[in-house]
Amino acid sequence: MNDEVYLNKSTIQAREDFLELLKKQWFQAEKLLKIFSKEDIRPDFFILLAESNLWLLIGLDTFLEMLNPNDVKISNYMKLNPKSRLQYLDQHDTINKIGYISQTMFVVEEFIKNIMRGMKKPPKRGKYYYFTEDCLNSLDIFDEQKHRILNAPYQLRDSLHNNGYVYNDFEITLREKNYKFVKGERIEFASWETIYIFFDELSSTLIEIVENEKLQEFTFIPHTNIGETFTPE
């Protein structure tokens, strides 16, 4: 399978996967809006996650158009030979991955900090790895796998920000597959398939967090978004 065929196949599958993830997050947003106001961080958070997936899906549609040799999005601005064009497409795919992971994890990190503040237990340890542990402990639902699921996408984000090289040793098994991050080594599994698995598992754990009885005792936790999210019809 040549690189262009691989990019086409992986992008089509990613579009199917992340559409399912968007539906999952949108369903949760609508469910939470029946319990909490839109000014509460819980429904607002899942709307933000859905927005990130919508952004990605539009980007994947655009990328599939760009894979067509007759598409002019690149040639409108630069004349590239076939090899250089393929190199750019591969890099464009990587940029889409970094953009999606970075934006989504920024939203997740802020959400966890804010629900901890809402529970009157603000994060005392600054690093994501530690305050996610504190959050799970505050809700009495800590276990090692949940903690790893919250951190796997974060490890992926940090590695991609480091040109693909791992900052810290980390390991997780998901869906019978082991993912091992070795400090100083380049990751070899930053595919759309892996990203989808990491973020689908992350979403399931976040749903478990918002549905936790201890958290639901707090009837209102404000969000801190600058802009306004759209509302499901």
Q: Which residue range(s) make up the domain with 104? A: 3-216
Token digits for 106? 């920024």
Residue 56 lies in a domain: yes
Total-model pTM: 0.94
Residue 233 lies in a domain: no
Residue 225 lies in a domain: no
pLDDT of residue 232: 57
Per-residue model confidence as pLDDT tens digits over 177-209: 999 999 999 988 789 999 999 999 999 999 999
Question: What are residue 202's phi and psi, to 5 degrees?
Answer: -60, -45
Domain count, the chain: 1
Per-residue model confidence as pLDDT tens digits over 125-184: 789 999 999 999 999 999 999 999 999 999 999 998 888 899 999 999 999 999 999 999
Q: 144-161 and 192-210 are packed helices; what angle lies between their axes, rounded to 10 degrees?
A: 140
Q: Are 60 and 15 in contact (CB under 8 A)?
A: yes
Residue 58 lies in a domain: yes
pLDDT of residue 123: 86
Residue 164 lies in a domain: yes
Per-residue model confidence as pLDDT tens digits over 75-112: 999 999 999 999 999 999 999 999 999 999 999 999 99
Q: Tell me the one-letter amino acid at 113.
A: K
Residue 230 lies in a domain: no
Question: What are residue 76's phi and psi, to 5 degrees?
Answer: -60, -25
Q: Are 117 and 59 in contact (CB under 8 A)?
A: no
Residue 224 lies in a domain: no
Residue 226 lies in a domain: no
